[in-house]
Chain A
């Protein structure tokens, strides 16, 4: 009886190959969705890969909200980022960055010592992901572009970029904390997913956060892991 039923099932598929085609097509559609490697939208839709590399374009002109933006030149000599902050040298413990999307606030701690608290701008046209992340690379300057129509933007020389990721938000999605020269509306959502910061704030955070800065591109590894970043919806 069982053998006859199994024969029937195989016969059912082979006799009607359309069933096999439908099943294979759906597997092809569903698998990327449920697999860990499903690619969520890039933070910068047009410069998805390009933004992950160090780049400086001095004397360039950017575009944001259909407005031309004069791009600040990048000075690669050690600057304000190296200024020591009161209390930093005495602090011990693990470094951790917290972002509260409801209050649009970033707080950075080392152990129980507050290093920095400041207003940020998270995603308005794209969602800033929530969860626990780790900084995987720090890049001194890069170009970011994306959006379309009235939302199109092309921004050279985005300074002090710290890309973060986790199992759900891969490194390739390009979400980061970074400096901002094209708007000044901190405390309110303004970005396409990244966490925008005042350049003076992020310069200090960049030098403070792990992995310790080494050159224009600094990758985290097992010996020098990146600082944890926790982003919450908040209330």
Chain B
């Protein structure tokens, strides 16, 4: 009698353990990753190829809703390349001047794929040099920021406000005024994403890495 009772309890326990394990394993396959740190390399942001010659080269990037256009004109002049940027809307095609800069041929400026903010208020450009990449945020209307600056220099602001990390890439916009800045810790291999808030010029460290 006692043996039979012990046997039945044992069998019940075994069935219970197997069942709970099955449920747990099944749920694992649908586990939602709410915090993702990735060792994967970022997908490269495609940059338009710039063939620099004496002729004026044009590169265009439309906003995701198709309503605005950013145009880059580049022209080689000896050892330098002159870059100029203009915006226009599809409804009113008049060019709005944004920015221009002369770069030595070893450096370049490009339009990132995700240059336009979701509401078309801002855009950002990437300046590539052999030493470091920099990123500049502009009003799409061409107006200046509150401190009268023509643009916000992301590397400069990051160096002033954040320590311990190096910018790897600025990939695009998480929201109408939040730029995604991917970084790497100066000590170790940890990758961290920040939001740069264009309105407040502040950086917010995130728990999720945007890869």
Contact = CB atoms under 8 A, between A and B. Distances in A.
A103 to B, nearest CB: 6
Interface string A1-21: 000000000001001101100
B23 interface: yes
Contacts of A30: 19, 22-23
B131 interface: no
Interface stretch (B72-80, B94-102, B142-150, B166-174): B166-174
B171 A185 contact: yes
A64 B175 contact: yes
B22 A33 contact: yes
Given A127-B32, A181-B64, A181-B65, A187 B171 contact: yes
Contacts of A180: 64
A198 B64 contact: yes
A22 B172 contact: no
Nearest to B31: A127
B129 interface: no
Contact of A189 (B22, B34, B114, B210): B210
B15 A23 contact: yes
A126 interface: yes
A224 B33 CA distance: 36
B26 A33 contact: yes
Nearest to A18: B12
Interface in B1-25: 4-5, 8, 11-12, 15-16, 19, 22-23
Contact of B210 (A12, A72, A182, A190): A190
B118 A103 contact: no
A60 interface: no
A182 B171 contact: no
Interface residues of A, number: 45
Nearest to B62: A200
B118 A182 contact: yes
B211 A189 contact: yes
A131 interface: no
A199 B118 CA distance: 11
B21 to A, nearest CB: 10
A183 B118 contact: yes
Contact of A187 (B5, B26, B114, B175): B114
Contact of A72 (B45, B65, B113, B171): B65
B177 interface: yes
A12 B65 contact: no
Contact of A185 (B19, B33, B174): B174
A157 to B, nearest CB: 12
A69 B176 contact: yes
Interface of A: 12, 15-16, 18-19, 22-23, 26, 29-30, 33-34, 38, 40-41, 64-65, 67, 69-70, 72, 80, 102-104, 119, 124-127, 151, 180-190, 198-200
In the A-B complex, the 7 residue pairs with the closest CB atoms: A185-B172, A26-B19, A67-B175, A33-B26, A198-B64, A200-B66, A184-B173
Given A30-B23, A38-B26, A187-B46, 6 more contacts: A12-B4, A22-B15, A65-B174, A126-B32, A185-B172, A187-B114
